[in-house]
Structure 1
Amino acid sequence: MSTFQALNAQYLSYLLQYPLLTKSITSGIFSGLNETVASVITNEYRETKVLGIKVKHVFSEKLVKMIIYGALIATPISHNMYAVINKIYKPPLTGKQKVLQLLTSLSTVTPTISACFVAWIAIINNYKCTSGNPITELKKILFIVKAGLKKGYLPVLKSSLTTSFFALLVAQKFVRPELWVVFFNLVYFVLGTYQNTKLKKLQKQQRLAEAEKLKEIEKEGKQN
């Protein structure tokens, strides 16, 4: 057995014993890598002085927040939604049932996770707590999420639906069942990095337009 096969076997063993925990850790790692790669592509570097020398890096609060998203938000939601779907479509499945299972997943899980992803990216890229008024801060968050979904949801959903559909077709034809988890983790890492990069570029353009409206919301909060 090769090293890769041994690691994959160990991973699948943990997946069977601790499904949610294993998926959460995996997703957290890939989400962190996702944010790192997207930050490099969009040139979102930070500078830190080390021994008097300025060092550029991409480590930030956003990186931690993306790890939190992958491990504690996206994974529990998708894990439980798929659990419900798998209870509805119990194996062995006929060809028709497989199609229905795929359509159910694409019409429920994919739109939900896409919305969560876009909303979270919008928040971590645009939200800063600037007042002590919780109502004002909630209004700001809702405004940012609404603006982010309006601009980024449909493109993300479209790419997610397309990728999920073709990834499943490829997996069914070319990938052994025991390697599906690894395969889909890699696929969604690539997709997530692409989506994150695209959203970062869109939201850079969005920030200037939002700044004025956010100031108005803060003024209203102070008056109240």
Structure 2
Amino acid sequence: MSGLSNLNKQYLTYLVKYPLLTKAVTAGVFSGLSEIVSSGITNEFKETVVFGKYKVKHFFTRKLLTMIIYGSLIATPISHNLYEIINNKLFVGTLTTKGKILKILTSLSTVTPLLSACFTAWIALINNYEIGKEFSPCTEIKKIIAIAKAGLKKGYTTVLKSSLVTSFFSLIVAQKFIPPQLWVVFFNLVYFVLGTYQNTKLKLAQKKLRLQQEKEQEKKEE
């Protein structure tokens, strides 16, 4: 237990000294783990031939790298800067009960919807986007926008609902049962579980959509 306590203290020290970098590294690690777990659940393995004849299944794919990039370089800077504004500019000093409620509502109505949209669009892109053989910037941008829109239309509401519910109850649990010095670790674990659940659900939905599109394409070719 003391080892875990020392590790938490060291982590919090780095968090105070290098806040954005520490959050980025943490989010990158958890995003990578989330992708590995969700890929295992949805049976999305990659096969690589080694020594010319042995097929090895693994999770080290382009998707894993892009999820690490998302967690560390997209989600973290957005959440870090938005919470910086909420905590240090909009709600400063000791807050009343009404102030605390308003702060939570502000977070749930701004940060959560934005991150949910980014997450949903990103998952849609890494699961469905492939660069065309004849590369054209305009064509690729249109393709990216179309895939992101389709992903948001299909999965955004579900992701947003689960994010809002999880964030709300996590804040209540943290305030009542978790020591303040353990909040960072607690929320990292909570959002790892939530991200894995959302990622898995989106993968299954998009996998089903791809299969339907392939069947429709086969019927057209016949």
The residue that corresponds to 1:66 in the other structure is 67
The residue that corresponds to 2:157 in the other structure is 154
Q: Decide whether aligned partners of structure 1 residues 20 and 211 sit closer, same or farther in structure 2, where only a CA change above 3 A counts.
A: farther
The offset of 1:48, in angstroms, is: 1.3
Code of the residue aligned with 2:96 in structure 1: it is: T
Distance 1:91 1:183 in 2: 24
The offset of 1:210, in angstroms, is: 5.9
The offset of 1:93, in angstroms, is: 1.1
Kindly provide the CA deviation profile for residues 16-40 of structure 1, in whole angstroms up to 9, marking residues without a partner as x.
0000000000000000000000000
The offset of 1:49, in angstroms, is: 2.1
Q: Aligned residues, how many?
A: 214
Alignment of 1:55-204 (within 5 A): 55-86=56-87, 87-130=89-132, 131-204=134-207
Query: Which runs of 5 or more residues in structure 1 are unaligned?
Result: 213-224
Distance 1:50 1:144 in 2: 34
SS at match of 1:47: strand
**Does residue 16 in structure 1 map to residue 16 in structure 2?**
yes
Moved more, 138-147 or 85-94: 85-94
The offset of 1:209, in angstroms, is: 5.6
The residue that corresponds to 1:221 in the other structure is none
Distance 1:64 1:178 in 2: 31
Code of the residue aligned with 1:88 in structure 2: it is: L
Code of the residue aligned with 2:90 in structure 1: it is: I
TM-score, with normalisation over the residues of structure 2?
0.93
Code of the residue aligned with 2:126 in structure 1: it is: I
Distance 1:63 1:133 in 2: 26
The offset of 1:91, in angstroms, is: 2.4
Kindly provide the CA deviation profile for residues 24-61 of structure 1, in whole angstroms up to 9, marking residues without a partner as x.
00000000000000000000011112333211111100
Distance 2:105 2:76 in 1: 20
The residue that corresponds to 1:222 in the other structure is none
Moved more, 47-56 or 174-183: 47-56
Distance 2:38 2:146 in 1: 24
Distance 1:207 1:75 in 2: 30
The offset of 1:208, in angstroms, is: 4.7
Distance 1:211 1:129 in 2: 18
Code of the residue aligned with 1:43 in structure 2: it is: N
Distance 1:126 1:88 in 2: 39
Moved more, 166-175 or 127-136: 127-136
Query: Which runs of 5 or more residues in structure 2 are unaligned?
Result: 216-222
Distance 2:50 2:2 in 1: 41
Q: Decide whether aligned partners of structure 1 residues 196 and 53 sit closer, same or farther in structure 2, where only a CA change above 3 A counts.
A: same
The residue that corresponds to 1:31 in the other structure is 31
Distance 1:200 1:192 in 2: 12
The offset of 1:207, in angstroms, is: 2.5
Distance 1:122 1:205 in 2: 13
